[in-house]
Structure 1
Amino acid sequence: MLYTQQVIDAVRQHSLEMDKHRSIPKEVLDFIYDERLFHLFVPDELEGRMTDLPEAARVFQSCSRIDGNLGWMVTIGAGGGFFAALLEQGVSREIFGKRDAVIAGSGMPTGTARRVEGGYRVSGKWKYCSGSTYATTFTANAVIESENETAKASESAIAAEAQEIRAFAFQPEQIRILPDWNAFGLRATASHTMVAEDIFVPDNRTFLFHEMKSYEQEAIYRYPFLPFAQVSFAAVALGIAEHFLEAAEALANAKGSETYVMNKLKEHSGFLRDSEGNFYATVEDSWQELLQEGELSGEAEAAVTAASIRAVNTARACGQTLFPLLGLAAAMEDSEVNRCWRDLQTACSHSLLRSYS
């Protein structure tokens, strides 16, 4: 998916403001709402625009090429659409069936919950909840406490690992936000910490990731979540790297940089195109296997993970290799290439994208 230069310019005019003030202006959020970009994995009957994974990845890449903050917000916000299949249809309609619906939350089980009549009481603190300042629903995972605290204290480490982990969907007024996202890149994503303090959540707003309750006919919900997330984040990295290369080339041309620098720019542009081609070919193959077989094989999952990490490593290398060659002008925080470089390094730091081989 390619946006017109008019759309690109309209969003990028806010990029410096977003980076400086660490917030998203209304105009950018309205663009997301109008395009229904938070609803790429929401069923059509819930005001969604259900999209297959290869096409959605191209949307994430295109948005990230416009601005890293935009791409990250759209990618994280769209991913929340997965939960529509894990909740009862009436609850999904309540959560997703409106123009500005978007989920912020965390997959880390850093909360606890205890069973009470009609639901659970949940407490916890969860970091890196992107979109926290405009989310209409918050989700988080919590460990279900044993009813017998004495028995719980004597459980072995193996038994503790086997404890039930359940996800919870909170109303915004139930959550307190700690504004602690002070990363040097993706500054406007509002990836703050969320806190719940003994909050009641009814049974119908809790769910398990392996238990589908509705919309089973939608193929995207059968795609394994780990490779889905890796594909999504790799697309973000590719898009930000594209923008970085554009900004780097513009700066190099303006400065009349040496032939060595221009050759390096050309070389890494080629690396990125090759990696992008391999990435999308692998994602397309996996999607076709899902449609034909109803599930992904272990081999297909491994191939998607490998292609995603290769794409991220290639994108990261663009910044690591070229940024030091661009001089002091690139070191200025308010320069376009500097913002792209910081966003790229931050996006590529996600735990699902690390590779030690």
Structure 2
Amino acid sequence: GWCSMIGSTTSLMSSWLPDQYAQEIFGTRDAIGGGFAMPTAHAVPVDGGLRVSGRWPWGSGTQHCTWIGGGCLVVDGDGRPSPRPDGLISPFVFFPRSEAEFIDNWDVSGLSGTGSGDYQVTDLFIPEGRWAQHGLDEPVRHNSWSQLSFYGLLACGVAACAVGIGRRAVAELVDLAGEKKPQGSSRSLAHRAAVQADVAIAEAKLSAGWSFMKTAIDGAWATAEEGGVQTTEQKRLLRLSATHATQTSAEVAELMYKAGGGAAVYRTSPLQRTFRDAFVATQHAMVAPRTFETYGRLRLGLETDARHL
């Protein structure tokens, strides 16, 4: 599910690609894209394109992609930030999977199955235009999707995965509670008042988080369908709701893990896996706890860099 989400959100970049590259990268039924959007690599302008060197983390599913992307910062020959005369400064460049080197370093506490290890390229030539610069350039093809913030949609994708993990945690606890009898008790875990309350609270938290995000998405989508541009407030609410849903889902996974008692600690228990997966999801840059600061600054009317909303 996580890797499918990454592939879907990466395909949104197609609206900023020239027709030739949009067709080459995403034009086949088996096309799968992926990559890390933040500019952790350097791109040096050369005749006919860019020379890219760098390493990206969180390469979810990239070893199964047909094309991979990576965020870059345009620099001069000495590595100093230096936009091209045409304004190119932070392109998301695309290259075939065969041109990437994969680093086997995804040894993590959660989301282990996503294969999100690092990947890198060295002095790789990217031909002119085989990149997208969302938020700075006008899309090549205007549609409802291109009117929405890529970062907001990515955040909502991460949040959707997190909510799914939270729902799985509740379902697993409900199953366990109907079968498990705590030591010294003749009645199942489901008869404990504390567990009953925990399940109800968990459902409320997940539903509230999902409802907030759906409301934000519906508002942004209605504007996009009318051909309008998202306001900063719409972008803020989209990101805020996604971060809230993700963080809340982790709280739910923790609550269900604790309610499961000793049975939850075994690696055979899905509760320990949902607990670990949910908290790793909270560390994604789009929904990390620190993003609340940006949303709060905007609400308070403080000067804030909102370019990556």
TM-score for both structures, normalised by structure 2 = 0.83
Shift of residue 313, structure 1, vs aligned partner: 2.6
Could you list the runs of 4 or more consecutive aligned residues of structure 1 that deviate by over 3 angstroms after TM superposition? none
Distance in 2 (alpha carbons) for counterparts of 1:275 and 1:173: 40
Decide which of 215, 222, 228 is 1:288's aligned counterpart.
222
Question: Does the alignment pair 1:103 with 2:33?
Answer: yes
Q: How does 1:180-219 map to 2 (within 5 A)?
A: 180-209=105-134, 210-216=136-142, 218-219=143-144
Partner residue of 2:243? Answer: 309
- Quick check: 1:88–1:213 contact (8 Å CA) kept in 2? no
Q: What SS is found at the alignment partner of 2:43?
A: strand
Aligned length: 277
Distance in 2 (alpha carbons) for counterparts of 1:280 and 1:269: 16
Question: Does the alignment pair 1:298 with 2:224?
Answer: no
Q: Which runs of 5+ in 2 are unaligned?
A: 181-187, 293-309
Q: What is the identity, as a one-letter code, of the residue corresponding to 1:346? A: V
Partner residue of 2:168? Answer: 243
Shift of residue 163, structure 1, vs aligned partner: 8.6
Superimposed CA distance per residue, residues 285-310 of structure 1 (whole angstroms, 9 cap, x where no aligned partner):
22112223511112222222222222
Partner residue of 2:209? Answer: 275
Partner residue of 1:39? Answer: none
Normalized per residue, the structure richer in helix is: 1
- Quick check: 1:252–1:262 contact (8 Å CA) kept in 2? no
Question: Does the alignment pair 1:265 with 2:190?
Answer: no
Shift of residue 354, structure 1, vs aligned partner: 2.4
Shift of residue 355, structure 1, vs aligned partner: 3.0
Q: What SS is found at the alignment partner of 1:238?
A: helix
Distance in 2 (alpha carbons) for counterparts of 1:211 and 1:118: 19
Partner residue of 1:327? Answer: 261
Distance in 2 (alpha carbons) for counterparts of 1:129 and 1:221: 24
Q: What SS is found at the alignment partner of 2:289?
A: coil
Question: Does the alignment pair 1:81 with 2:40?
Answer: no
TM-score for both structures, normalised by structure 1 = 0.72
Partner residue of 1:340? Answer: 274
Distance 1:311 1:199, change over 3 A: same
Q: Which runs of 5+ in 1 are unaligned?
A: 1-70, 157-161
- Quick check: 1:252–1:326 contact (8 Å CA) kept in 2? yes
Decide which of 179, 200, 203 is 2:104's aligned counterpart.
179
Distance 1:76 1:313, change over 3 A: same
Q: What is the identity, as a one-letter code, of the residue corresponding to 1:75? A: M
Question: Identical aligned pairs, as a percentage?
Answer: 23
Superposed CA RMSD: 2.2
